[in-house]
Structure 1
Amino acid sequence: MEEFDAIIIGTGQAGPPLAANLAKNGFRTAIIEKSHLGGTCVNDGCTPTKAYVASARRIFAAGNSEEHGVVLEGELRVDLKKIKTRKDELVQESRSGLEKMFADTENITLIRGEATFIDEHTLQVGEKEYRAGKIYINVGGRPRIPDDFKEVEHLTNDSILELEEIPEHLIIVGGGYVGLEFGQMFRRFGSRVTILERGEQLLEKEDEDIAEEIAAIFKDSGIEVKLKSNCISAVRSGNAITVKYDCEENREDITGSHLLLATGRISNTEDLGLERAGVKLDDKGYIVVNEKLQTSVPHIWAMGDCNGEGAFTHTAYNDFQIVNSHLFEKRKRFLSDRFTCYAAFIDPPLARVGLNGNDIKEQGIKAKVAIMPMNKIARAKEKGETARKLKIFIENNTNKILGATFLGTGADEYIHTIIDQMYAGASYEIIRDAVHIHPTVSELLPTMLGDLKEF
């Protein structure tokens, strides 16, 4: 048995920076990885998908610039193999960077293999055992595959990135962020795309008006969206796949060339042997943690997607910051300090922080709202990207920002103006009275906050 001061399971966004800080502070640290270094973000999440989104955006701009006075003559051709090669190079660069960091850092040992708990201090990897006083779980998540689809050939957010030929007709089951991002990018690559969503709207957590705007964007781009479509099963026959689904009380079939399952994600916790360590899970298989991200066993922590407290790269990194603060910093961070924020990298992007209209109604909060259509913003007009709108919610009693939902060009960047004000605990009047640069989209944030309406 080999002894360490600390062991980290998984090399996602929280694991490597924690390993580096533990090692820097004299902790003999092991980090265990059963697959590629970097976790979901590097290998089949942010890095590869945003590379594809960038290619899809170039294709869209090239084919839709005539109104700007740019006329493309000749054939516009998409080379998916080249897009994939560029993506693979970006992914490998990140993997290699992590491997070099582990190799070059004193007090870090990289162990390859799958870890399982023997007891609350001991892990087995292959035929070897490793023991530590502190253990950090950073094992991430994976796509959830419904039982009725496990035996049929299908794609996930991982395997679809390995295609080298553009699907003729891509059927996507699931109208969340993964389904929408892949749906739009492959439509722009040239595929016919159908999205089946069992709920009453796309992006079920968003306000109805925002979901309707997104559905309109997709329908305008030639993507077929079928809501209230509960998929039952799928059958492969030769080069075609047929999905059976219930739609508005009628059972229907749709046939395409490829099937992408975008039906949510689950935690990678079932093979860790957590019961032997006494680590508790919730009813969805996520590791239960406290404000410091400690599990039910005080010397074991859970960070990233496996704890069910964020499921984003930025929240996983913040998990590292929380744990690190209690190890080495004077100022302590806690899970409750965090405002939920995220983006869907469709075009135009959706960006969100804090509460939306649905949340405010459910909680009975008295609030005001500021709304600005994108077609009222000079910079959006100049760019020729006037689709959709911005919404900011203000609490009546405190004048603090409750949240914002932006759907429009550049929204994933200027949402941070709102995020920073919320962390500062400042009144919305700070932004209202600020002077922003013209011509930008964000210059209209002060203007819209000068025209609040009762919500």
Structure 2
Amino acid sequence: MQNFDAIVIGSGQGGNPLAKKMEEKGWKTALIEQRFLGGTCINDGCTPTKAMIACAKVAHTVFHSKHWGVHSHSMFVDLPFIVARKNNIVSEFRGGTQKGLASDKVTVFMGTASFTGNKTIKVTGFKGEEEILTAPHIFINTGTSPHIPSIPGLEEVPYLTSTTILDEITVPKELLILGGSYIALELGQMYQRLGSHVTVIETGSQLVSKEDTDVAAVIKKMLESEDMQIHTGAQATRVYRNGKKISIDITAGGGKDTLTGTHLLVATGRTPNTAALDLKNTRILTDEKGYIQVNDQLETTEPGIYALGDVKGGPQFTHISYNDHLIIYKNLFEKANVSTRNRQVPYCMFTDPQLGRIGITEKEALQEGIPFKVACLSMDKVARAIETGQTRGFMKALVHEHTNAILGAAIIGPEGGEIMSVLQMAMLGGITATQIREMVFAHPLYAESLNNLFMTLEKPAS
């Protein structure tokens, strides 16, 4: 048995910096990783998808270059090159993670971790070798994996996930996608631009179900303008082979239909990676979906054991995982008494144009009984958007009726995430909509249009 001061299970964007900082503080620290160093973000999520989305954006721009007076007479999408470029970037980031952990002298174990007791971990290596580790402090950062829904016939067809599709070196001719949220839409638009004919099948009444209906409607219109087929309120009842193709029977709007494609991507959410942990050997509780239950300081129901990142449920974003590690670190080493309560949760969907989101939605404000007013500005009224020829989308912000405090925002447009971040900082600093309306921004930035966004709140003269 090897004794440590701390054990981190999972090499994600919360686990890695936490392990390094604890080692720097003099804690003997072990890090256990089942697959690749860097976690989902570097290996399967943010890094590879955004690298490939960038290539798809170039393809889209070239294909439509005549709109800018530039005529291209031929275009060829080299998917093997795009995948290789993605792999090189992933390899570089993964290598940087490995060097960083080595330089901080964190002890790394490659294998599967499972609890044999509350503070005892068995690590099973790739060749079956076993190590027993123990520590008074354990941090679970095992993340999530693609969720596979229970649909008759699905297990009998060769479906893809958000992980496996990234290694395809042939553009799917007809790509069916189960799911209509961030991962599904980012990958759907990407492959549509690379040459696929993409069909999205979403069970909910709208895409991106957590967003306001007007936001979802604009996103749907935006994707349909690129010839993507979108089916909302559609329930997949059966999946089966149809010769060399895959067919999905759906019910929608009281009717039935059959959709057929060459490839199927399942993008219907995520499942927590907790099964292999053998939590039954601990006092750690999970919810009905397997997410680890934690308090607002990220401690589980077993004192001294914490969970951070996606495995604990809640917002599943890399930046939240990173912030989780800061909360844990500050509380352990700085006695800061900080928590997850009331922290900002910004996020961005990297379709083109982007959706940047911060704060509460209109639906949430109504549910909470908060008095608010809505500022809204179409991107075709934004000077910079007109100049660059990218006028799809709109800016929307919720403002408190009495204080003019900014409550939330949804920005669909070029650099929507960057514009959202300006409002995020304003919200954190208590800067009101009135102050933003009168603020001096450099011309002609997208951010400058925030002046005009909040001018829409002004009442017309009587």
Q: What is the TM-score normalised by the length of structure 1?
A: 0.97
- Judge conservation of contact 1:369–1:453 (CA < 8 Å) in 2: no
Give the drift of 1:446. Answer: 2.2
- Judge conservation of contact 1:367–1:395 (CA < 8 Å) in 2: yes
Give the drift of 1:237. Answer: 4.1
Pairing 1:135–2:138 present: yes
Supply the distance in 2 between the matched residues of 1:156 and 1:285 (Cα, whole angstroms). 20
Specify the alignment match of 1:248 in structure 2: 253
What pairs with 1:340-359 in structure 2 (closer than 5 Å)?
340-359=345-364
Specify the alignment match of 1:124 in structure 2: 122
1:449 partner amino acid: F
Supply the distance in 2 between the matched residues of 1:247 and 1:428 (Cα, whole angstroms). 42
What pairs with 1:147-226 in structure 2 (closer than 5 Å)?
147-148=150-151, 149-226=154-231
Q: Which moved more, 1:283-292 or 1:294-303?
A: 283-292
Specify the alignment match of 2:39 in structure 1: 39
What pairs with 1:261-410 in structure 2 (closer than 5 Å)?
261-329=266-334, 331-410=336-415
Give the total of aligned pairs.
Answer: 452
Instruction: Please list the CA deviations of residues 354-388 of structure 1 after superposition, one character each: whole Å capped at 9, or x if unmatched.
Output: 11111111111110111111111111000001112
Pairing 1:444–2:449 present: yes
- Judge conservation of contact 1:196–1:226 (CA < 8 Å) in 2: yes
Supply the distance in 2 between the matched residues of 1:234 and 1:318 (Cα, whole angstroms). 40
Instruction: Please list the CA deviations of residues 315-369 of structure 1 after superposition, one character each: whole Å capped at 9, or x if unmatched.
Output: 0101011111112236443101412221111111111111111111111111011
Instruction: Please list the CA deviations of residues 377-426 of structure 1 after superposition, one character each: whole Å capped at 9, or x if unmatched.
Output: 11100000111210011112332211001111111111101111122233
Instruction: Please list the CA deviations of residues 151-207 of structure 1 after superposition, one character each: whole Å capped at 9, or x if unmatched.
Output: 421000000001010111000011111111111111111111111111111111111
Q: Partner of 1:295: helix, strand, or coil?
A: coil
Give the drift of 1:5. Answer: 0.3
Pairing 1:92–2:95 present: no
Unaligned runs of 5+ in 1: none
- Judge conservation of contact 1:153–1:236 (CA < 8 Å) in 2: no
Supply the distance in 2 between the matched residues of 1:337 and 1:444 (Cα, whole angstroms). 28
Pairing 1:110–2:108 present: yes
Instruction: Please list the CA deviations of residues 33-87 of structure 1 after superposition, one character each: whole Å capped at 9, or x if unmatched.
Output: 01011111011100000011100000011111212221112x2000100000000
- Judge conservation of contact 1:310–1:316 (CA < 8 Å) in 2: no
Specify the alignment match of 1:48 in structure 2: 48
Q: Partner of 1:78: helix, strand, or coil?
A: coil
Instruction: Please list the CA deviations of residues 270-304 of structure 1 after superposition, one character each: whole Å capped at 9, or x if unmatched.
Output: 22111211001112211111111001112000000
Pairing 1:421–2:426 present: yes
Cα RMSD of the aligned pairs, angstroms, is 1.3
Supply the distance in 2 between the matched residues of 1:329 and 1:370 (Cα, whole angstroms). 41
Unaligned runs of 5+ in 2: 125-129
Give the drift of 1:453. Answer: 6.6
Supply the distance in 2 between the matched residues of 1:153 and 1:89 (Cα, whole angstroms). 27
Supply the distance in 2 between the matched residues of 1:327 and 1:291 (Cα, whole angstroms). 14
Give the drift of 1:440. Answer: 1.1
Q: Which moved more, 1:147-156 or 1:135-144?
A: 147-156
Q: Partner of 2:71: helix, strand, or coil?
A: coil
Q: Partner of 1:150: helix, strand, or coil?
A: helix
* 1:434 pairs with one of 413, 420, 439: 439
Specify the alignment match of 2:100 in structure 1: 101
Supply the distance in 2 between the matched residues of 1:377 and 1:193 (Cα, whole angstroms). 30
Specify the alignment match of 1:144 in structure 2: 147
Structure 1 pair 426/331, CA: closer, same or farther in 2 (3 Å)? farther
Supply the distance in 1 between the matched residues of 2:311 and 2:204 (Cα, whole angstroms). 25
Supply the distance in 2 between the matched residues of 1:55 and 1:351 (Cα, whole angstroms). 21
Between the aligned residues of both structures, percent identity stands at 39
Give the drift of 1:226. Answer: 1.2
Supply the distance in 2 between the matched residues of 1:331 and 1:450 (Cα, whole angstroms). 40
Pairing 1:69–2:74 present: no
Supply the distance in 1 between the matched residues of 2:111 and 2:434 (Cα, whole angstroms). 54
Supply the distance in 1 between the matched residues of 2:100 and 2:394 (Cα, whole angstroms). 43
Moved over 4 A (4+): none
Supply the distance in 1 between the matched residues of 2:360 and 2:390 (Cα, whole angstroms). 26
Q: Partner of 1:231: helix, strand, or coil?
A: strand
Supply the distance in 2 between the matched residues of 1:331 and 1:135 (Cα, whole angstroms). 20
- Judge conservation of contact 1:370–1:453 (CA < 8 Å) in 2: no
Supply the distance in 2 between the matched residues of 1:318 and 1:91 (Cα, whole angstroms). 22
- Judge conservation of contact 1:32–1:112 (CA < 8 Å) in 2: yes
Q: Partner of 1:335: helix, strand, or coil?
A: coil
2:415 partner amino acid: G
- Judge conservation of contact 2:395–2:453 (CA < 8 Å) in 1: no
- Judge conservation of contact 2:354–2:415 (CA < 8 Å) in 1: yes
Q: Partner of 1:422: helix, strand, or coil?
A: helix
Specify the alignment match of 1:83 in structure 2: 82
Give the drift of 1:240. Answer: 0.8
1:251 partner amino acid: K
Q: Which moved more, 1:269-278 or 1:78-87?
A: 269-278
Q: What is the TM-score normalised by the length of structure 2?
A: 0.95
What pairs with 1:220-235 in structure 2 (closer than 5 Å)?
220-235=225-240
Give the drift of 1:427. Answer: 2.7
- Judge conservation of contact 2:377–2:456 (CA < 8 Å) in 1: no
1:266 partner amino acid: T
